[in-house]
């Protein structure tokens, strides 16, 4: 059996490497022909253009990996059926599931590889590609994320915060208003206002601060401090800084940390949460989509249905990617939960794939 496993995996890898190279070249040609004229009109230099397009390859490899895995499996199964090797293997009493088990081992290893590749290589490539596009080709300044104004958010302590201006360079807040409401009657329980606040020794130091306490909506006590510390304010300067990166340019832990910062300052983070779950779910498409190549091995070399099965496999891959994009959009718009938006296509197509494998054995 080891000899058969080695033979199948070597033949698969040969086809896979050829298809991977072909897809990379094809997508690169399409990308160049589509974008190059517009970039050249902007006066981009050739070395910047070359880097810009080469850095696109990691994204194209990750995006098209399920298609490459499926096509490689279909070509291998076609070759096994064409030369009657699959018939001989089955005649020896070896089941289809056992025969293709090396492919699923490869699929699992490749899934882990794509997950690590998308975690460490893709974010760096996309980040630098965006830098080349914005600064060197379009001559645009990077948006300043260290300064923000008119910030409203609901804190973890259920206080309503308003920050007139945040200066990330000086770690300073200007025009602060913190309002606490009584949960029972909905009236103001306390209001804190300050002209400025400075971040020092891991605390916010409020200057010219008024703390007013209310009873049933009526002012009960008012205190003024030239400088004071309010420990319940749990946000830090980094929480106010919007990331300049896109989710694709962040790895899993960077995106997870960014989502926590968005939560703290009360900003919408649904899209980022969907992307976080997709970073885990999408690589498993390489293992799931491989299931659909198995039925081809049970088709005889003279069967007229073999071509239809081959086309059906490609159609399945297209439907999977389409379903993934649809669920992604539904997740962005809060129609599906982020977890369901990322994993529903895997559940549906994984179930279908297992059904086809079982049916191929019959």
Asked whether residue 186 is domain-assigned, the answer is: yes
In a shared domain, residues 230 and 286: no
Asked whether residue 71 is domain-assigned, the answer is: yes
Q: What is the pLDDT of residue 295?
A: 73
Distances (CA, A) of 283 to 69, 121, 213, 240: 11, 14, 54, 32
323: pLDDT confidence band, cut at 50, 70 and 90? Answer: very high
Q: Which one of 219, 239, 259 terminates a domain?
A: 239
Helix crossing, 46-54 with 2-41: angle to 10°?
140
Cα separation, 39 vs 357, whole angstroms: 47
In a shared domain, residues 55 and 172: no
Edge-first strand listing for the sheet containing 203-215: 147-154, 160-167, 172-181, 188-200, 203-215, 218-229
Q: What is the pLDDT of residues 266-283, one digit of tens each?
A: 778 899 999 999 999 999
297: pLDDT confidence band, cut at 50, 70 and 90? Answer: low
Asked whether residue 59 is domain-assigned, the answer is: yes
What is the average per-residue pLDDT within 34-45? 82
Q: Is the pTM of this model over 0.85?
A: no
Phi and psi, residue 45, nearest 5° = -80, 155
Q: What is the pLDDT of residues 232-270, one digit of tens each?
A: 777 788 777 665 567 777 889 888 888 887 777 677 889
Q: What is the pLDDT of residue 142?
A: 56
In a shared domain, residues 77 and 151: no
Asked whether residue 328 is domain-assigned, the answer is: yes
Q: What is the pLDDT of residue 96?
A: 76
Q: Which of 53-57, 90-94, 155-159 holds the top average pLDDT? A: 53-57
In a shared domain, residues 128 and 172: no
Asked whether residue 339 is domain-assigned, the answer is: yes
In a shared domain, residues 299 and 176: no
More confident residue, 357 or 146: 357
Report the candidate in 158, 181, 174, 180 with the shortest Cα–Cα distance to residue 240: 174
Asked whether residue 244 is domain-assigned, the answer is: no
In a shared domain, residues 296 and 317: yes
Q: What is the pLDDT of residues 183-240, one digit of tens each?
A: 777 788 899 999 999 998 888 999 999 999 988 778 888 999 999 998 777 778 877 7
Asked whether residue 277 is domain-assigned, the answer is: yes
What three-state secondary structure class fits 200? strand
Asked whether residue 250 is domain-assigned, the answer is: no
Asked whether the predicted pLDDT for residue 83 surpasses 80, the reply is no
336: pLDDT confidence band, cut at 50, 70 and 90? Answer: very high
Element (H, E) at 83: none
In a shared domain, residues 127 and 170: no
Cα separation, 48 vs 85, whole angstroms: 50
In a shared domain, residues 178 and 235: yes
Asked whether the predicted pLDDT for residue 101 surpasses 90, the reply is no
What six digits make up the tokens of 40?
Answer: 């050249």
Burial 182-204 (b: 16+ CB within 10 A, else e): eeeeeebbbbbbbebbebeeeeb
In a shared domain, residues 97 and 160: no
In a shared domain, residues 72 and 172: no
In a shared domain, residues 193 and 122: no
More confident residue, 1 or 177: 177
Count of domains for the chain:
2
Q: Which one of 190, 218, 239 terminates a domain?
A: 239
Alpha carbon 298 to its chain centroid, in Å, reads 37
Q: What is the pLDDT of residue 167?
A: 86
Q: What is the pLDDT of residue 259?
A: 86
In a shared domain, residues 164 and 127: no
Contact in structure between 288 and 316 (CB atoms under 8 Å): no
Q: What is the pLDDT of residues 51-82, one digit of tens each?
A: 899 998 899 889 889 988 988 888 888 888 77
Range of the domain at 224: 147-239
């Amino acid at each position: 059996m080891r000899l058969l496993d080695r033979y199948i995996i070597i033949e698969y890898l040969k086809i896979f490497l050829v298809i991977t190279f072909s897809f990379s070249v094809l997508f690169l040609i399409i990308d160049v022909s589509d974008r190059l004229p517009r970039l050249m009109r902007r006066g981009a230099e050739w070395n910047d253009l070359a880097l810009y397009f080469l850095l696109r390859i990691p994204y194209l490899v990750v995006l098209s990996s399920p298609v490459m895995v499926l096509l490689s499996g279909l070509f291998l199964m076609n070759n096994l059926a064409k030369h009657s090797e699959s018939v001989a293997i089955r005649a020896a009493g070896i089941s289809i599931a056992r025969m293709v088990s090396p492919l699923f081992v490869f699929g699992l290893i490749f899934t882990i590889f794509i997950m690590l590749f998308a975690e460490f290589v893709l974010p760096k490539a996309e980040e630098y590609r965006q830098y080349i596009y914005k600064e060197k080709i379009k001559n645009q300044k990077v948006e300043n994320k260290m300064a923000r104004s008119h910030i409203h958010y609901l804190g973890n302590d259920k206080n309503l915060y308003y920050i007139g201006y945040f200066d990330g360079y000086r770690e300073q807040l200007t025009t602060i208003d913190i309002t606490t409401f009584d949960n029972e009657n909905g009236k103001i329980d306390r209001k804190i206002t300050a002209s400025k606040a400075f971040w020092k020794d891991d605390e916010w130091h409020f200057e010219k601060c008024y703390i007013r306490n209310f009873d049933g909506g009526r002012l009960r006590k008012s205190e003024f401090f030239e400088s004071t510390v309010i420990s319940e304010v749990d946000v830090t300067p980094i929480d106010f800084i919007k990331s300049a990166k896109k989710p694709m340019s962040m790895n899993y832990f960077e995106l997870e940390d960014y989502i926590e910062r968005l939560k703290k300052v009360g900003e919408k983070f649904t899209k980022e949460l969907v992307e976080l779950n997709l970073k885990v779910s999408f690589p498993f498409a390489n293992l799931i989509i491989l299931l659909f190549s198995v039925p081809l091995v049970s088709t005889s070399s003279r069967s007229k249905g073999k071509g239809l099965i081959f086309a059906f496999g490609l159609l399945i891959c297209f439907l999977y990617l389409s379903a993934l994009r649809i669920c992604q959009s539904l997740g962005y718009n809060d129609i599906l939960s982020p977890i369901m938006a990322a994993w529903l296509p895997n559940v549906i197509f994984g179930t279908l794939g297992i059904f086809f494998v079982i049916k191929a054995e019959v």
